[in-house]
Structure 1
């Protein structure tokens, strides 16, 4: 959007080249933020995503799928959100405001779509001064569609509840794993296996999906007999600590 605005103000610049170059340049400070806030693995995958997007912007020509601007806005938002959501669920992002939204979603209980929509709406309103009110309104429709689809595919499954049934003598070990590797709280209670009659401990905790694979792997290493169930959490009320 910023690149398009610059092209409108300086039409002698090539929009196809400028969008891809500016897309890369604007992502440099964002990737630095992600390096410290979201981890190195996330940054490397995001760099790959940003380079791929930049190449696609440079190579793929502009295509008018429909003469109806409203249809283009709605379905453009759906297709874009689907790509963003799948990228996020793979442990990366498309860069830009997505990274900032991911940092903020870890500090608040707002959804990814709501945060992203707020940022993009402000930029759209500013761009409306250049392009006119009508185009800005269509863009806002596309952004709203984008936000709802992202929240449906990604944010609704962002926080998950783990229920872990472990051996009684492994309680302290697993407790330390949860506290040290996720920084989240937990609740545990005593239980007894219905088949074996052995004493067990049941641990309840809510974590983020990107913490799931690491934590479950560590728990299974600590207690190979552990039994873990996973449930999606739509919303958390109360203090939810995130790194």
Structure 2
């Protein structure tokens, strides 16, 4: 129950973060990068539909198609995020209609148009969900074809972005192209940051006090490896453990005070699979 409630809060918060970035910064500036919402900006230019309403209709249709083709087990998390994002965008449009950008600083607004949706997407991807849209198309194509989905979606994003040069103006097109380039890198960096842990190699003569601290105070596990010093020939032990950044500080301070002769190697890692971290 606790894990499900946490996932529900993360789903809700990340989707709302995306909605704020898309509506207040992306739609208002006609930035065209990024799947359905990017295409919605182009559609709004030539049809009576607003970008928010088109996103709502397109996302719901894609959700229904995905549900039919991929079955009832099709991504309940994605369904919730898709509906919440679509409804929130339409609600924003009716509560706070925007006829022009919030500021006269398009570069500043581009940063938020990239940053907020990228953060929201990273949180969703990190818990195994997505906000729907072109992700649904990718899942359907993957089921029935051997198409390189990543390349196909990137090509569609590039086409939507290039259209901004012709539909709007060169400045908007350049900003959209910059947004497309930065978005993928930011999502990857956010995911790494969310999963970042500290990997310890501790070389020492007496592993017991350090392992007791890891097990009892940090409630983590450790592995002890027998070793021998190449210069002295003395018997040594190597303690291997992975901790969160806050736990890493505590262990480092403990070793510094209680085992000053120990040798530490501490490195960042963002992909840990095993008990207490991510499952396979």
TM-score by length of 2: 0.44
Greater Cα radius of gyration, structure 1 or 2: 2
TM-score by length of 1: 0.50
